[in-house]
């Protein structure tokens, strides 16, 4: 929305109920009279007279509220809501949506309140206006945070009622059409926002015509020089290729009737932004982009689409691998069509889209077709898909930590270069291009994703990180004791998988931090002769009031994460207990923290020295990290002598050998053929997996190999090293610990 230059002092309360009956022309600026008349004719074409009268009343209400306000272009402000409502009338939206469109800025830019709108036009209209309106005051937030919060509000309102986003998209369309009147920095910000958020949402909802127009306007304002150069190049190419395009058009129009097919054939020009993106992504010059012209064939029914395809393939040879059947497998936004690329005259590639009239309407207006063509059965599946996506926004909201993370997850979901895969029962799932088996698991169900341990792709066992391809059949293997791995975040593509993995890891870290904080505080309290159970609720209440903590659990979490010192908390609790009448003994006792290898949670194994079970270890409390376990001879902790107050006694747990730990070794060998294979075989025979291998530069007769292995404990590592020493070419073996002395 372009801000008005002034805020009108008047309020909408001054408008009486009889105002809706006054002729609209009396309230219309002179230069809007024609627009208003055209809008009224559109309404009369599909709405009953009483609803048209109600919409006219909303126009008068909004015009009065915005009286004295002007857009950056100098036009009366009411011209903007009228243009938004006019776009919605093209989509034949209902009276509530049109009323809300005419009032969509009154809550932001005038003294009008949500309650006033509800009293005059109903609660549903007030909710729509509120969903489109920005949050006025978000304290202590940057512009980016405020924008993210506003997007979250809008998208969640959209999940409750899709008309919210249709109003917002029509609002953004008119703003983009008039963006030239806005100052350059703001113009670029709005154009970038449109390209990143609003155009993809329009695409996701199947509003193809709107999607393309938003992209074109955004491209023109973001890259004005490139836009002008491409525009000129396309204009020149149009003249140069007119003869070829005309010949192809004539051939298509002749071939289809000859095959007994009644069809409408239309030529279309590729949009400038599509050409620009193809040149950028594939590193092409304009002369190398040959398919700037395409053709659309519209027939009466779906079977005729396939007959037309056969006829055209008989006319021009198809390009192998360039055929897509979106009729049998529609896109997630409901789009249906047959796509084929043919080799036309003079070797010119020709892209042809074949669809029915109903498919064409849905392709252009997407979910808005629900209001235009309510009786068409083809829309039911589209409505179900749209509803499912809107509900997924609710799930993303609950799994996302804040507005910025929520917006990031939604952005991931809004660029669906899709891949179609099958469940074992033959159900088709649509995932983003590059998705892995983990994405598939979460698409089936969150619990399946959280418990997956492996997969079969086309009946073959494959790693979970395997990239899925069109037509793959995937079966997920699960274990009741499995948990999400933080490493999954490096290769998952879908927003649902990313949000659910982060949510699980945050929850687990919180729970582990509470448990660790409790153990650390209990250990420290023993130094004062107390147990954690000796601290009464009154002592805890006083402590929390003094230090601004919300709950006992929050205090324990902060201790586990290193944000509070257990010694300070224990000393204060012990002092408060003495003040309450208790007795604190001075007897010192000790109890080491048991390490069970919980890597990635509140207890982490240091990367610098890579301790494994059997190594002498020491724990260090680090702020924001929790308990970090180092080898006792680690150089990094011995250098930081000032942190000794944060050291904690730790020891390996009895069940630790059930886990695998990474360790590095360096092997100097004679530079002979086959030595790497011999060493890999020796490692495998010792029951270890190689995680990584690197080779230093050859130095004459010797080569240095660096391995990262998985071992159970220090004894296992010793067995591996003994096995390697038996390899004749091995000269020296050492364990690599970058932080050790």
Q: Alpha-carbon distance 283 to 637, whole Å?
A: 50
SS (H, E, C) 159-186: HHCCHHHHHHHHHHHHHHHCHHHCCHHH
Choosing from 51, 108, 534, 729, the catalytic residue is: 108
Strands (E) across 362-438 are located at: 418-422, 428-432
> Tokens 């004791």 map to which residue?
481
H helical segments located in 178-301: 184-193, 199-204, 208-222, 224-240, 242-258, 272-282
Query: Residue 447 — φ and ψ, nearest 5°?
Result: -65, -35
In the annotation, is 75 catalytic? no
> Positive or negative, the Cα torsion across 534, 540, 543, 548?
positive
Q: Alpha-carbon distance 554 to 537, whole Å?
A: 15
**Which contiguous run of DSSP H or E holds residue 461?**
strand 460-462
Nearest to 648 by CA among 617, 615, 679, 673: 617
Give the rounded distance of the alpha carbon of 638 from its chain centre: 43
Pair type for strands 349-356 and 293-299: parallel
Choosing from 56, 105, 109, 351, the catalytic residue is: 109
Contact 300, 269 (CB under 8 A): no
Instruction: Give, in order, the Cα–Cα distances in Å from 256 to each of 261, 264, 320, 470.
Output: 5, 10, 22, 31
In the annotation, is 17 catalytic? no
Judged on CB neighbours under 10 Å (0-12, 13-18, 19+), 633 is middle
Contact 446, 399 (CB under 8 A): no
Which residues belong to the active site? 108-109
């Amino acid at each position: 929305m372009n801000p008005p230059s002034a805020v009108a002092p008047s309020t909408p309360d001054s408008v009486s109920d009889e105002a809706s009956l006054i002729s609209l022309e009396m309230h219309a600026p002179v230069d809007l009279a024609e627009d208003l008349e055209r809008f009224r004719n559109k309404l009369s074409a599909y709405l009953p007279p009483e609803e048209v009268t109600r919409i006219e009343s909303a126009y008068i209400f909004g015009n009065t509220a915005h009286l004295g306000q002007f857009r950056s272009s100098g036009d009366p402000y009411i011209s903007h809501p009228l243009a938004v409502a006019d776009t919605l009338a093209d989509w034949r939206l209902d009276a509530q949506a049109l009323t809300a469109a005419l009032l969509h800025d009154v809550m932001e830019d005038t003294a009008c309140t949500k309650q006033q709108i509800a009293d005059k036009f109903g609660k549903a209209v007030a909710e729509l206006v509120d969903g489109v309106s920005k949050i006025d005051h978000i304290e202590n937030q940057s512009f980016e945070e405020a924008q993210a919060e506003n997007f979250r509000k809008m998208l969640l309102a959209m999940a409750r009622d899709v008309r919210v986003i249709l109003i917002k998209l029509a609002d953004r369309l008119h703003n983009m059409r008039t963006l030239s009147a806005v100052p350059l920095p703001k113009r670029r910000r709005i154009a970038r926002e449109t390209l990143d958020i609003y155009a993809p949402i329009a695409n996701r909802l199947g509003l193809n015509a709107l999607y393309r127009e938003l992209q074109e306007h955004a491209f023109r304002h973001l890259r004005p020089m490139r836009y002008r150069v491409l525009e000129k190049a396309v204009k020149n190419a149009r003249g140069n290729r007119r003869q070829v395009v005309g010949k192809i058009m004539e051939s298509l129009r002749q071939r289809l009737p000859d095959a007994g097919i009644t069809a409408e054939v239309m030529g279309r020009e590729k949009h400038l932004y599509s050409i620009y993106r193809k040149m950028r992504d594939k590193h092409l010059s304009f002369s190398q982009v040959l398919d700037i012209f395409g053709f659309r064939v519209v027939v009466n029914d779906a079977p005729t689409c396939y007959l037309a395809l056969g006829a055209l393939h008989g006319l021009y040879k198809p390009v192998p691998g360039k055929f897509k059947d979106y009729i049998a497998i529609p896109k997630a936004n409901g789009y249906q069509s047959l796509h084929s690329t043919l080799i036309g005259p003079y070797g010119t590639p020709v892209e042809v889209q074949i669809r029915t009239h109903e498919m064409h309407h849905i392709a252009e207006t997407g979910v808005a077709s629900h209001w235009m063509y309510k009786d068409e059965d083809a829309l039911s599946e589209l409505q179900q898909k749209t509803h499912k996506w809107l509900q997924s926004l609710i799930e993303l909201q609950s799994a996302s930590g804040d507005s910025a993370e929520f917006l990031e997850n939604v952005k991931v979901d809004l660029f669906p270069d899709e891949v179609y895969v099958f469940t074992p029962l033959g159900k088709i799932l649509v995932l983003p291009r590059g998705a892995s088996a983990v994405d598939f698991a979460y698409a089936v169900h969150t619990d399946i994703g959280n418990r997956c341990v492996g997969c079969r792709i086309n009946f073959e066992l494959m790693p979970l990180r395997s990239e899925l391809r069109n037509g793959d059949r995937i079966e997920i293997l699960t274990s009741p004791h499995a948990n999400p791995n933080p490493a999954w975040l490096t290769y998952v593509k879908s927003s649902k998988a990313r949000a659910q993995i982060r949510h699980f890891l945050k929850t687990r870290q919180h729970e582990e931090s509470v448990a660790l904080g409790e153990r650390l505080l209990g250990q420290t309290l023993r130094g004062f002769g107390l147990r954690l159970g000796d601290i009464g609720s009154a002592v805890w209440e006083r402590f929390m009031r003094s230090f601004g903590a919300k709950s006992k659990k929050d205090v324990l979490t902060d201790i586990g994460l290193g944000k509070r010192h257990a010694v300070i908390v224990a000393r204060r609790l012990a002092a408060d207990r003495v003040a309450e009448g208790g007795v604190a003994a001075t007897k010192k006792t000790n109890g080491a923290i048991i390490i069970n290898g919980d890597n990635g949670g509140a207890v982490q194994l240091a990367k610098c020295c890579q301790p494994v079970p059997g190594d002498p270890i020491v724990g260090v409390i680090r702020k924001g990290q929790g308990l970090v376990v180092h080898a006792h001879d680690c150089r990094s902790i011995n250098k930081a002598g000032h942190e000794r107050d944060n050291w904690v006694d730790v020891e390996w747990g009895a069940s630790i050998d059930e886990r695998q730990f990474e360790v590095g070794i360096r092997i100097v060998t004679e530079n002979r053929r086959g030595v790497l294979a011999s060493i890999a075989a020796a490692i495998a025979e010792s029951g270890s997996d190689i995680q990584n291998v690197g080779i230093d530069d050859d130095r004459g007769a010797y080569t240095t190999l660096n391995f990262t292995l998985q071992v159970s404990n220090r004894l296992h590592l010793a067995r591996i090293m003994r096995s390697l020493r038996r390899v004749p070419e091995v000269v020296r073996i050492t364990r690599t610990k970058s932080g050790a002395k």
